[in-house]
Amino acid sequence: MSQTIQSASSSPANLSQGQSRLPLALLCAAQFMVVLDATIVLVALPSIGGALKFAPQDLSWVVTAYTLFFGGFLLLGGRAADLFGRRRLFRVGLAIFAFGSLLCALSPSSGLLVAARALQGFGAAMVSPAALAILMTLFGEGEARNRALGVWGALGAVGAAAGLLLGGILTTWLGWQSIFFVNVPIGIVVLALTPRLLPQSEIADGVPDFDFPGAVTLTAGLVLLVYAIVGISSNGWLSATTLGLCGIAIALLAAFVVIESRAKNPLVRLTIFQMRSLTFANLISLILSATQGAMFFLLTLYMQDILRYSPLRTGFALLPVAIGVTVFSNLASRLVARFGIKPLMIIGLITFGFALALLVRLPVDGVYSRDLLPTFLIASVGMGCSFVAITIGAFAGVPDQDAGLASGLINTTQQFGSALGIAILGTIAASQAQSVLGSSTETPAILTAQVGGYQVAFAVAVGLVIVTLLLALFGLNGNKLANQRASDVRAVPSATPAA
């Protein structure tokens, strides 16, 4: 059965600056919501746990339920957007996300809240790749698309910091329910404006064949892998449970590769990884997202548990990161047209790695202006430059019919990278602290052990950034796309679909 996406016009999009602002703003508003919800709950966790009687070991599921379902269904959402219509999937996903947000806010029990968070993640997995695919068809190659992608690429980094800030403000002033309620009116407005501002793509010959076996094995394998890593803190690194779950996850992912290599219409066309820029951009994105997610997670614990900051003060303390990433992402989207993708990526990775190296020396009696603020500003430069370059690089050479797949891949690597980073580096920090502390119950010893654990975790994060730098230097070496100026990169052929 045909999988051709019908379009009213195959000519490149020629949106004027005025015409492009509202559609871009609409897409970014939806994307910002789904990115924000991955971190907005962090500073609200104590309030949620007390109100809904969460057991301490179960409280993390408020975060991981969303992350698991968001990351687990992203590729399915990306391919479905290509096959069933991007605007259609965008609206369905947004409705599910808004409904899940309402259920979260009204949840009377811990179990219902976790289930609602999973529903939110499922909806987000439809919204995010569909929105990015629509963006790629709205903007023609060159400066206009690079600016749009620069804004989009900044959302991942800005959303992580802004989520912490808004979580602190809303929890303190309006209660923890407000961090979920806020999505409902925004979702309704975006849904109402979508038919007027966004183009529609249609299936030419009815419903196409769809690779459900591939979708099931991939989603199950990724979800199980993250579940196993999240459980390491309680089960142990080499426990039978951890090793068994990881073994099953690897088997499912191997089955996915076999299915995709034989499927008539695969969920992921494996030959897409022959595009060198796409492959290495996703590898770098996976590792960099892991270090970024862990950095925010550990710094939140450091400020609240060690420096005794309130949730509100913690959120405001992280405000310079959000502002810095916004400013430098915008600047990076302009610089990439002059210097190219690869140089900007390398500069961003080196800068971010330096910021993490400064965190290796975090003291127990830290002072914000001396120990945190300078690091936040340096990190914002690195994140702004690197994520813009990664986003543009991930689309270099991708044909229009695979725009949804490419967006699903880059979103998947970012989401699972963040989940893996929090799980692995958080476990390293806790294990190091416990090994140093032993049986001591003295408060100074506990604080010293906790900070020592954070320091070790940040040292590991520096090593991971060095790996990404090597991937950028040598993995992209010899690839013409990696060295071309962004204005010359053929990212995705644009078209103006039928409205």
The reported pLDDT for the residue numbered 381 is 92
Provide the pLDDT confidence category of residue 52 given band limits of 50, 70 and 90. very high
When comparing pLDDT for 257 and 151, which is higher? 257
Question: 447-483: string of b/e by CB count within 10 Å (b at 16+)?
Answer: bbbbbbbbbbbbebbbebbeebbebbeebbeebebbe
The reported pLDDT for the residue numbered 441 is 67
The reported pLDDT for the residue numbered 440 is 66
Alpha-carbon gap, residue 377 to 153, rounded angstroms: 18
Same domain, 59 and 170: yes
Q: What residues pair up with 9 in beta bridges, in sequence order?
A: 496
- Alpha carbon dihedral 174, 176, 179, 184, in 10-degree steps, equals -80
Backbone angle region of 53, left / alpha / beta, with phi > 0 → left and psi within -120 to 50 → alpha:
left
499, with CB counted inside 10 A (0-12, 13-18, 19+), is exposed
What average pLDDT score do residues 463-486 get?
70
pLDDT in tens, 399-422: 777 776 777 788 778 878 887 887
Same domain, 245 and 271: no
When comparing pLDDT for 398 and 197, which is higher? 197
Q: Residue 341 domain-assigned?
A: yes
When comparing pLDDT for 227 and 344, which is higher? 344
Name the residue range of residue 221's domain: 211-266
Same domain, 196 and 217: no
Picking from 306-320, 375-389, 485-499, which range would have the lowest pLDDT averaged per residue? Answer: 485-499
Residues 6+ apart with CB under 8 A from 187: 30, 33, 94, 95, 97, 98, 101
Same domain, 218 and 356: no
* C-beta separation of 76 from 268 below 8 A: no
Residue that terminates a domain, selected from 250, 266, 282: 266
The reported pLDDT for the residue numbered 202 is 58
The reported pLDDT for the residue numbered 452 is 92
Confidence check: pLDDT of 255 > 80: yes
The reported pLDDT for the residue numbered 438 is 67
Same domain, 393 and 375: yes
Same domain, 360 and 404: yes
Task: Work out how many domains the chain is built from and give that number.
Answer: 2
Q: Residue 294 domain-assigned?
A: yes
Q: What residues pair up with 202 in beta bridges, in sequence order?
A: 6
pLDDT in tens, 84-105: 888 889 999 999 999 999 999 9
Q: Residue 403 domain-assigned?
A: yes
Same domain, 364 and 416: yes
CB atoms inside a 10 Å sphere around CB 41: 25
Picking from 11-15, 228-232, 429-433, which range would have the lowest pLDDT averaged per residue? Answer: 11-15
Confidence check: pLDDT of 288 > 90: yes
The reported pLDDT for the residue numbered 451 is 92
Q: What's this model's pTM, rounded to 2 decimal places?
A: 0.79
What average pLDDT score do residues 283-290 get?
91
Confidence check: pLDDT of 485 > 70: no
The reported pLDDT for the residue numbered 362 is 93
Residue that terminates a domain, selected from 248, 266, 284: 266
Alpha-carbon gap, residue 130 to 412, rounded angstroms: 13
Alpha helical stretches, state H, 231-340: 232-235, 240-262, 276-301, 311-317, 319-339
Alpha-carbon gap, residue 127 to 466, rounded angstroms: 33
Alpha-carbon gap, residue 422 to 417, rounded angstroms: 9
Provide the pLDDT confidence category of residue 321 given band limits of 50, 70 and 90. confident
What average pLDDT score do residues 477-484 get?
44
Alpha-carbon gap, residue 68 to 235, rounded angstroms: 19
* C-beta separation of 403 from 89 below 8 A: no
Backbone torsions φ then ψ of 187, nearest 5 degrees:
-60, -40
Alpha-carbon gap, residue 230 to 213, rounded angstroms: 26
Residue that terminates a domain, selected from 266, 281, 307: 266
When comparing pLDDT for 162 and 31, which is higher? 31
Same domain, 352 and 284: yes
- The token duo for 165 is 């800030």
Same domain, 237 and 329: no
Same domain, 230 and 374: no
Instruction: Write out the H or E segment, with its range, that includes residue 75.
Output: helix 74-84
